[in-house]
Chain A
Amino acid sequence: MFALSNPSEWIDRYGDYLFSNALMKVGDKESAEDIVQETFLSAFKSRDSYKGLSSEKTWLTSILKRKIVDYYRKKFPSTEVLTEKADTHFFENGGELMGHWNPKFYPKEWSIETNDSLNNKEFFNILNQCIGKMPANLASVFVSKFMEENNSETICKDFSITPSNYWVIIHRAKLLIRDCLEKNWFDK
């Protein structure tokens, strides 16, 4: 069983973590701060109902996640339809080679050893910058899937997207992040 610490300690202990989590998903500082504030206030008001089944940090993170979902429902009330055609700058748009890699974006073999990246703080800084460069609606789905390991059913429900939209978003996010990391880290 877990116990809650004094709420006055929450901000110093978890504030930056919750803020980072929110900022990566919503993409702008003001919205992320609002979400963190709402999270702390909700947690503060409902602290008597905390049952100690998960750690304080996990409990606060789950409240934050709900706030982010609410934020998205307000911001994108109807499902934004993304078509597969929209991310084609990576690929040839017409002619005999339509759908093939645009030579400017040919994936290259990376020169940096994987293990060097795993232990390198700088790599994670660059990765987080690359996530920050993605459009916010892609970044939120990206973080939810690849970092938090939510399944596609949960993500579709959280962000009110259809399964086919989900695949288009994941595909585009993967293309963008791979390209960004190649240019800024692996093939620099």
Chain B
Amino acid sequence: MDFKDTFRACHKATFLMVKKEEGKLLLIEKVSLRAHLLNCSYCRIFYKQSLLLNKLFLLNHAHISNKPPFILGEDFKTKLNKLFKQH
């Protein structure tokens, strides 16, 4: 990987951020991401928000479990019930 390229590009830096969240960065990638974040306020915002979003995504899982956002139609439920009876 070209160090200078990584240092400059936000596209690459945001890619490294998602990889970092799973602890999969090589040393050179860690160094270049840190250097980029020092120099790029937009990516610092992205990084902070990315970690926050991960927490919200997990909460969404619990939310969906308690209150499913999509509802099966009554016709479909009736059809399923009939299928059970046939088996």
Contacts and interface: CB of A to CB of B under 8 A. Distances in A.
**Chain A partners chain B:** yes
A135 interface: no
Contacts of A21: 64, 68
B45 A100 contact: no
B14 A175 contact: yes
A127 B83 contact: no
Chain A interface size range: 35 or more
B61 A147 contact: yes
B18 interface: yes
Contacts of A123: 56
Contacts of A11: 72, 77, 80-81
Interface string B1-38: 00001001111101100110010100000000000000
Contacts of B80: 11, 15, 36-37, 40
Interface string A141-153: 0000011110010
Contacts of B65: 17
A159 interface: no
A50 interface: no
B9 A15 contact: no
Given A167-B19, A171-B14, A178-B50, A37 B83 contact: yes
Q: Per DSSP, are chain B's interface residues mostly helix, strand or loop, or mixed?
A: helix
A36 B72 CA distance: 10
A88 B15 CA distance: 12
A107 B46 contact: yes
Contacts of A127: 56-57, 60
A44 interface: yes
Given A40-B80, A91-B11, A33 B72 contact: yes
Contacts of A90: 11
A127 B69 CA distance: 11
A84 B16 CA distance: 12
B32 to A, nearest CB: 13
23 contacts: A7-B84, A8-B84, A17-B68, A20-B70, A32-B70, A37-B83, A40-B84, A45-B87, A84-B15, A91-B10, A98-B9, A106-B42, A107-B43, A114-B52, A117-B56, A123-B56, A127-B56, A146-B54, A147-B60, A152-B24, A168-B15, A171-B14, A178-B46
Interface of A: 7-8, 11-12, 15-17, 19-21, 23-24, 32-33, 36-37, 40-41, 44-45, 84, 88, 90-91, 98-101, 106-110, 114, 117-118, 121, 123-125, 127-128, 146-149, 152, 167-168, 170-171, 174-175, 177-178, 181
